[in-house]
């Protein structure tokens, strides 16, 4: 795992600038650094040595003739197969790294190389002869790649913070991203919070030549249910492909560990990965927020050593500025901070960890996926439900009323992903500034259009795969692990696993048939849970049926405590907050929450995280001294 930076060269001190950019992402690769600078381009790379840990694997990496220059972040799990193909075609390799197959694979196959890869990656290849830059990002967006065209310069790299070191970079807040963030809780647009800085989308590549940037999609998910195999057949297919994926994801020349919570995803990974060490964090003693007991019991059952940590509230709050700095853009998912601490814990023992991200999106694991056709009310004519929903929408919001409001809307109107913080009306009322941010439905519309003929469960999964997973789940996985120079691998997010998952009928992803709890009228990730149950040791089968918790964090509890209420209120009434928000509305959200009149914790956290992030990036607040 590594990080890279670069820019088209039109400055006199390119070597000095590229080294400053490299230093800003040193956490991504503390083992080695290297650069390449010529009259046209500057490239910098930081290396975390995982495969071929010798100096031969240092980057930038060059073709034998010196014409192609590579900077690469990630792992190619089938590199040995591709390497053998290329050797058979006459190519000679100078290293044992997976990186080198990208150079000669690109020379042999061009952009079609991407279709052959299995792994997580972001990389650029500079062709000195044609003066062409080729860049690509992996299928799911596990590894980040940003770019900006400013003042006659193309900037690109693994983290936005590196761009700030370049004299051509013009740092401005993208206010449209702020307004959109207030709804989604993450940066949901291609253009980031920094105006003019874009993220290359997952499964896309670019070709930059003569000042022109051409971007293309090279892969997509295609849900095409296959009704022929039985449920047992699907369970076996999942088991086989996931075992294969885990084997591939364990390829390393260093020790590999595994994250572990009480849920099925991480437990399934840990059970079949045969790693020696598992890692868990929690809060306090309440099982609602602390999964350490479950994790220790499961680790003992599979014969592994568990390392755990109880995160104190003051530790959690004390790292917020540093975490938002590492994230590059504000993220309001409280689990990001928990992930930061479990990465910190693991990095003391290993260089690589396996984790369970992606299982929910590809196998149908979120509870909201059970919503379509969940009640007899759903079978009423659409016109009737819309009429009742329209009436309900004019009533004060509360649980029963909200049910009729939601059921009166089409899926495309009500579902924008796993988080829905502020409605468009609420965010416009809250903001003092006016932006050109699109309506949330406009952001999600083109994804829904691609799966217009699919069932509602599939539509939700497709949307989450492209937005929620890339914008929240994988963003925090990459940034929090790299903050501790730790490589995080996600075996569920494997091209071969997806190829199986996209053919599973919806009824085997989310089913109405209860198998474990008579009080639960549905089971999410149904087929995958059955595969996990058969593949985990005797006595641990109950883990496969556990309700999803994620990284539970007691934010709503802390915000009712005087100390943390005061910290947030100070931010909400600051001069910075007054630039962007009607602060009296922020304080009301906070007071109503503290006094138990409403659970506003997620909305409060969304605004608070933006203000913490803005303080670091735009007001020069120190990164490492608490909040």
pLDDT tens digits, 200-238: 999 999 999 999 999 999 999 999 999 999 999 999 999
DSSP designation for 431: B
pLDDT at 291: 79
Compute the half-sphere exposure of residue 273: CA atoms within 13 Å on the CB side of its CA: 33
Are the CB atoms for 338 and 291 separated by under 8 Å?
Answer: no
Sign of CA pseudo-dihedral 171, 177, 182, 185: negative
Looking at the predicted structure, is the pLDDT value of residue 550 above 70? no
Residue with tokens 């193909």: 85
Are the CB atoms for 369 and 525 separated by under 8 Å?
Answer: no
Distance between CA atoms of 491 and 352, rounded to whole angstroms? 13
Are the CB atoms for 501 and 359 separated by under 8 Å?
Answer: no
Looking at the predicted structure, is the pLDDT value of residue 124 above 70? yes
Distance between CA atoms of 355 and 339, rounded to whole angstroms? 11
Distance between CA atoms of 446 and 567, rounded to whole angstroms? 40
Distance between CA atoms of 344 and 281, rounded to whole angstroms? 10
What the block records as the tokens of 97 is: 């790294």
Distance between CA atoms of 52 and 59, rounded to whole angstroms? 12
Taking alpha carbons only, the member of 532, 497, 537 closest to residue 516 is: 532
Q: Which fold has domain 2-217?
A: 3.60.20
Q: How confident is the model over 142-150, as a mean pLDDT? A: 98
Q: How many CB atoms lie within 10 A of CB 333?
A: 26
Looking at the predicted structure, is the pLDDT value of residue 453 above 60? yes
Are the CB atoms for 98 and 51 separated by under 8 Å?
Answer: yes
- pTM comes to 0.94
Active site residues: 2
Distance between CA atoms of 469 and 339, rounded to whole angstroms? 15
Domain 231-365+467-545 has CATH 3.40.50.620: yes
- Percent of residues, the chain, with pLDDT higher than 70: 93
Q: How confident is the model over 294-317, as a mean pLDDT? A: 91
What the block records as the tokens of 219 is: 């892969």
Q: Where are the domains of the chain?
A: 2-217, 231-365+467-545
pLDDT at 460: 97
DSSP designation for 366: S
Lowest mean pLDDT among 13-17, 55-59, 332-336, 457-461: 55-59
Would you give the end-to-end CA distance of the chain in angstroms? 30
What the block records as the tokens of 14 is: 């390119």
Looking at the predicted structure, is the pLDDT value of residue 287 above 70? no
Confidence of residue 390 (pLDDT cuts 50, 70, 90): confident
Higher pLDDT pick, 213 / 376:
213
The predicted-structure confidence for 580-623, as pLDDT tens digits, reads as follows 999 999 999 999 999 999 999 999 999 999 999 999 999 999 98
What the block records as the tokens of 274 is: 């045969």
Distances in Å between the Cα of 542 and the Cα atoms of 263, 297, 511, 538 are: 10, 12, 18, 10
Q: How confident is the model over 420-445, as a mean pLDDT? A: 96
The predicted-structure confidence for 490-532, as pLDDT tens digits, reads as follows 999 999 999 999 999 999 999 876 444 555 556 899 999 999 9
**Which residues fall within 8 angstroms of residue 473, CB to CB, at 6 or more apart?**
357, 358, 361
Higher pLDDT pick, 112 / 293:
112
- Average pLDDT value over all residues in the chain: 92
Q: Contacts for 94-101 with beta carbons within 8 Å, 24 or more apart?
A: 94/56, 94/64, 95/52, 95/56, 95/57, 95/61, 96/51, 96/52, 96/56, 96/57, 97/51, 97/52, 97/56, 97/57, 97/61, 98/51, 99/57, 99/59, 99/61, 99/70, 99/72, 100/61, 100/70, 101/76
Are the CB atoms for 516 and 523 separated by under 8 Å?
Answer: yes
Confidence of residue 374 (pLDDT cuts 50, 70, 90): confident
- Percent of residues, the chain, with pLDDT higher than 90: 78
The predicted-structure confidence for 411-427, as pLDDT tens digits, reads as follows 999 999 999 999 999 99
Looking at the predicted structure, is the pLDDT value of residue 173 above 80? yes
**Which residues fall within 8 angstroms of residue 553, CB to CB, at 6 or more apart?**
283, 289, 316, 334, 335, 337, 338
Distance between CA atoms of 19 and 45, rounded to whole angstroms? 9
pLDDT at 392: 80
Confidence of residue 56 (pLDDT cuts 50, 70, 90): low
| DSSP notation for 383-423 | HHHHHHHHHHTTSPP-HHHHHHHHHTS-HHHH-SSS---S-
Lowest mean pLDDT among 123-137, 169-183, 257-271: 257-271
What the block records as the tokens of 456 is: 């509602």
What the block records as the tokens of 254 is: 């260093």
The predicted-structure confidence for 308-362, as pLDDT tens digits, reads as follows 999 999 999 999 999 999 999 999 999 999 999 999 999 999 999 999 999 999 9
Residue 468 backbone class (left: φ over 0; alpha: ψ -120 to 50; beta: rest) = alpha
DSSP designation for 470: I
Looking at the predicted structure, is the pLDDT value of residue 110 above 90? yes
Query: Do 2-217 and 231-365+467-545 share a fold?
Result: no
DSSP designation for 162: G
Distance of CA 502 to the CA centre of its chain: 20
Looking at the predicted structure, is the pLDDT value of residue 136 above 90? yes
- Is the bond leading into 195 cis (omega within 30 degrees of zero)? no
């Amino acid at each position: 795992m590594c990080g890279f930076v670069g820019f088209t060269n039109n400055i006199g001190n390119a070597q000095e600038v590229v080294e400053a950019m490299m230093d800003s992402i040193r956490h991504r690769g503390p083992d080695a650094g290297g650069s390449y600078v010529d009259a046209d381009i500057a490239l910098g790379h930081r290396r975390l040595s995982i495969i071929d840990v010798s100096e031969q694997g240092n980057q930038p990496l060059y073709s034998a003739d010196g014409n192609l220059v590579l900077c690469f972040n990630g792992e190619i799990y089938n590199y040995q197969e591709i390497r053998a193909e290329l050797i058979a075609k006459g190519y000679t390799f100078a290293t044992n790294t997976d990186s080198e197959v990208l150079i000669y694979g690109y020379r042999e196959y061009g952009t079609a190389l991407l279709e052959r890869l299995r792994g997580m990656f972001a990389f650029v290849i500079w062709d000195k002869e044609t003066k062409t830059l080729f860049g690509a990002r992996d299928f799911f967006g596990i590894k980040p790649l940003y770019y900006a065209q400013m003042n006659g310069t193309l900037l690109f790299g693994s983290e936005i913070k590196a761009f700030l070191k370049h004299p051509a970079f013009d740092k401005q807040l993208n206010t449209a991203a702020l307004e959109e963030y207030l709804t989604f809780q993450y940066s949901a647009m291609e253009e980031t919070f920094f105006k003019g800085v874009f993220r290359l989308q997952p499964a896309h590549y670019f070709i930059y030549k003569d000042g022109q940037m051409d971007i293309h999609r090279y892969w997509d998910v295609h849900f095409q249910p296959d009704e022929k195999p039985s449920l047992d057949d699907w369970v076996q297919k999942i088991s086989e492909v996931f075992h294969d994926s885990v084997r591939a994801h364990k390829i390393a020349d260093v020790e590999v560990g595994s994250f572990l919570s009480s849920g099925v995803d991480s437990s399934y990974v840990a059970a079949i990965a045969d790693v020696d060490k598992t890692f868990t964090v929690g809060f306090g003693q309440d099982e609602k927020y602390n999964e350490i007991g479950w994790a220790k019991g499961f680790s003992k059952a599979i014969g592994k050593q568990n390392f755990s940590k109880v995160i104190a509230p003051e530790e959690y709050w004390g790292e917020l500025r540093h975490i938002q700095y590492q994230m590059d853009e504000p993220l309001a998912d409280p689990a990001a901070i928990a992930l930061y601490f479990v990465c910190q814990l693991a990095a003391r023992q290993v260089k690589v960890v396996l984790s369970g991200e992606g299982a929910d999106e590809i196998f149908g694991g979120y509870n909201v996926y059970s919503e379509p056709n969940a009640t007899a009310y759903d079978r009423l004519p659409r016109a009737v439900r819309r009429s009742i929903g329209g009436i309900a929408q004019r009533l004060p919001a509360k649980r029963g009323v909200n049910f009729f409001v939601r059921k009166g809307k089409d899926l495309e109107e009500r579902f924008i992903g796993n988080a829905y913080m502020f409605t468009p009306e609420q965010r416009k009322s809250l903001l003092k500034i006016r932006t050109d941010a699109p309506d949330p439905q406009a952001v999600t519309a083109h994804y829904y259009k691609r799966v217009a003929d699919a069932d509602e469960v599939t539509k939700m999964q497709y949307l989450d795969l492209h937005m929620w997973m890339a914008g929240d789940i994988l963003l925090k996985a990459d940034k929090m692990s790299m903050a501790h120079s730790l490589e995080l691998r996600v075996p569920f997010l494997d091209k071969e696993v997806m190829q199986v998952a996209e053919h599973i009928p919806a009824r085997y992803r989310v089913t109405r048939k209860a198998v474990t709890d008579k009080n639960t009228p549905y089971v999410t990730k149904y087929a995958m849970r059955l595969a996990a149950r058969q593949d985990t040791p005797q006595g641990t089968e109950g883990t496969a049926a556990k309700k999803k918790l994620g990284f539970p964090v007691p934010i709503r509890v802390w915000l009712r405590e005087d100390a943390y209420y005061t910290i947030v209120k100070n931010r909400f009434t600051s001069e910075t907050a007054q630039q962007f928000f009607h602060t009296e509305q922020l304080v009301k959200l906070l007071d109503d929450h503290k006094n138990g009149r409403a659970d506003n914790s997620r909305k409060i956290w969304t605004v608070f995280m933006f203000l913490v992030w803005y303080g670091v990036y735009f007001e020069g607040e120190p990164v490492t001294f608490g909040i």
